[in-house]
């Protein structure tokens, strides 16, 4: 599979628990993005990496959220002390690096989080 891969596809958790999502980008892409989408809305930008460097974080990304991309390949998004308002689809996307980048994003299937 050469597309963007996300795991797990669906996570149900109780309020207050920690959850972690993983994203594997397209192999030759060195930019990786996290977006969040709530029901009936378009996705909203959370953060992005170029290789292992996290270059930008949205104000939507509270202190309970942390994203990493330690080796410049896969990325993890951790949410600590989950709240019901965190229930959403978490989408990962990747793109080519700046020298070859048209800005076209390729998304994964998403990880749906339900906080009870």
**Part of the chain binding another protein (CB under 8 A), chosen from 14-22, 61-69, 79-87, 96-104:** 96-104
Rounded least distance, CB 64 to another protein, Å:
22
Label residues 78-113 b or e (16+ Cβ within 10 Å = b): ebeebeeebbbbbbbbbbbeeeeeeeebbebebbbb
CB-CB neighbours of 18 under 10 Å: 11
Selected binder of another protein within 11, 31, 36, 69 (CB under 8 A): 31
Question: Which is closer to another protein, CB of 70 or CB of 103?
Answer: 103
Question: Binding of another protein at residue 101 (CB under 8 A)?
Answer: yes
Question: Binding of another protein at residue 43 (CB under 8 A)?
Answer: yes
């Amino acid at each position: 599979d050469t597309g963007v891969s996300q795991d797990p596809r669906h996570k149900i958790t109780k309020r207050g628990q920690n959850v972690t999502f993983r994203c594997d980008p397209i192999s030759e892409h060195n930019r990786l993005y996290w977006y969040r989408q709530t029901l009936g809305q378009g996705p909203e930008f959370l953060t992005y990496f170029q290789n292992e460097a996290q270059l930008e974080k949205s104000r939507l990304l509270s202190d309970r959220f942390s994203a990493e991309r330690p080796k410049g390949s896969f990325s993890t998004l951790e949410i600590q002390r989950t709240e019901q308002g965190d229930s959403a689809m978490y989408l990962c996307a990747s793109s080519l690096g700046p020298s070859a980048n048209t800005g076209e994003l390729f998304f994964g299937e998403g990880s749906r989080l339900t906080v009870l």
